[in-house]
Amino acid sequence: MSLKRKIAFSLSIAFSLIFGIMMFVIYVSFNDFRRDEFKERFQKRLVFTVNFIEKANDFEREAPLFFDENSDNVLLNENIIILNAEKELVYSTLKDKKVTWDNVLLEKLDKEKTIYDEKSQPEIYAALRTIKGENYYILTSAQDVTGESKLAFLGYTLMFSYIISVLLIWFFSYYLVSKFLEPLEILKSEISDISVHKLTTPVVVKNSEDEIGVLAKSFNLMTGRLNDVFQSQKDFNSSAAHEMRTPLTRMAFQLENLIQLENHSDKTKTTLQQMLQDVYQLSDLTKSLLLLSKFDKEGIASVYEEVRIDEVVFDAFETVHRNFPEFKMDFQIDEESIEDSILTVKGVKSLLEITFINLFKNAALYSDNQEVDISIKETDFRIIVKVFSIGSTIPIEERDKLFEAFMRGSNSENKAGSGLGLRIVKRILEYHKADITYSSLSDSENLFTVVFNK
């Protein structure tokens, strides 16, 4: 998840929780207000009833007329039951119904004097009062329909408001965070465009005072220093490789002249031949390093051209054959290749030649018969080149490090080599977005598979 989304998500969650808690507090507070208000109306109704009982001369006879005349003040679905000290019914507003009451409630009234039960349906407010020296149990029940409807309306309103608010919060959080982090996105885009050839291109700083501006300045400073280091390293590699080629060429020429003299013993000629081979190997390695120092993964694409793989293979074989006259190659195109095979890829021919030169040299050095079999297969999307040879194989435990620099397997004892050949092959193929793998079909069969994506 990107930083922008993390910040927007965190802010949205936080504000949604806070807003939800506030909505819940409002709902609970209104419910408490409704309950207290309804309880107060119960209390007023009780005081009204007690005053009537105190003033009435004949309570049982005057009660029906009194409650009918004051029906405007009656609570919704109100029922009043009045019992005497012996808990016998004195008066009830219930008409044509059997009047019942809860004796447990009456016993509780004896202790608490006043009881309010908001959880019952309808709600009950009961009190024990002493009037004119006699105890009366006054039980009042009613429904707060108005308050409950207001509470329900408030609940629906809060829920709807919460949903709309949460959607707006999530939208504006993402929008505002996107606007705030827009300079960071621009900075990321400019950094992504920087390559080895563009290290000197500074990142644009719009506001040098904020954190992003300070980060951009620091990045420009860092790229400037890196450019100096890379340029020094590149100049050194190029100069060193170039300077080494001249004496190596001179040494090779002098060794060839010495070998052609007839007055050398066989041992001396063998030694000179070995020295000449080492010089050629060092010269090839220097040439490889010189070519690699000129390119990088991004810059190399600018010099790509259409390259025929079969031509690269034959040119590489000719180069190796000059140093290994007995080296042979069996070349074939796989029968499963598509009919209109053209065997071309995008790349740099000189670098691709180095790839197969190194693979062929390995075959010439490590194969038992100095022979390599080449098979090329082209599909709609790939060109697959298989390099097969017979000889001692690389142990399984050493294959993971096969393409590392200066890695030489246990099968390379008493064999000339620098340990850089396969590393250079791997690097060149990475530049061409190709891949190479090694496998062993048996104890004496070596197979390198190179896959080019078309």
Rounded CA gap, 88 and 108, in Å?
16
Rounded CA gap, 407 and 402, in Å?
6
295-453: CATH homologous superfamily?
Histidine kinase-like ATPase, C-terminal domain (3.30.565.10)
Tell me how many degrees the CA angle 136-139-143 measures, rounded to the nearest 5. Answer: 160
Rounded CA gap, 155 and 425, in Å?
72
* E strand or H helix at 208: none
> Do 329 and 372 contact (CB within 8 A), yes or no?
yes
85 to 112, 129, 135: CA distances (angstroms): 16, 10, 5
In DSSP terms, 128 is beta-bridged to 137
> Do 317 and 354 contact (CB within 8 A), yes or no?
no
Question: pLDDT tens across 246-292, in order?
Answer: 787 888 878 877 777 767 777 777 787 778 777 877 776 776 666 66
For residue 100, give the DSSP letter: -
Question: pLDDT tens across 51-69, in order?
Answer: 777 766 666 666 666 665 5
Query: Is residue 119 scored above 90 in pLDDT?
Result: no
> Do 140 and 124 contact (CB within 8 A), yes or no?
yes
Q: What is the dihedral of CA 300, 303, 309, 314, to 10 degrees?
A: -100
Question: pLDDT tens across 285-343, in order?
Answer: 776 666 666 655 555 666 788 999 999 999 999 988 887 888 999 999 887 777 777 88
Burial, 312: exposed, middle or buried (Cβ in 10 Å; 0-12, 13-18, 19+)? buried
Query: Is residue 355 scored above 80 in pLDDT?
Result: yes
Query: Is residue 176 scored above 80 in pLDDT?
Result: yes
CB atoms within 10 A of CB 97: 9
Question: pLDDT tens across 423-454, in order?
Answer: 888 888 888 889 999 998 888 889 999 999 88
For residue 120, give the DSSP letter: S
Query: Given this chain, do its domains 3-149 and 295-453 carry the same CATH topology?
Result: no
Both tokens of 59, joined, read 């309570």
The secondary structure of 20-67 as a DSSP string is HHHHHHHHHHHHHHHHHHHHHHHHHHHHHHHHHHHH-SSHHHHHHHHH
Instruction: Assign 208 a pLDDT band (cuts: 50, 70, 90).
Output: low
Query: Closest Cα to residue 450, out of 386, 400, 399?
Result: 386
Domain locations along the chain: 3-149, 295-453
Both tokens of 147, joined, read 């308050």
| CATH number listed for the domain at residues 3-149 | 3.30.450
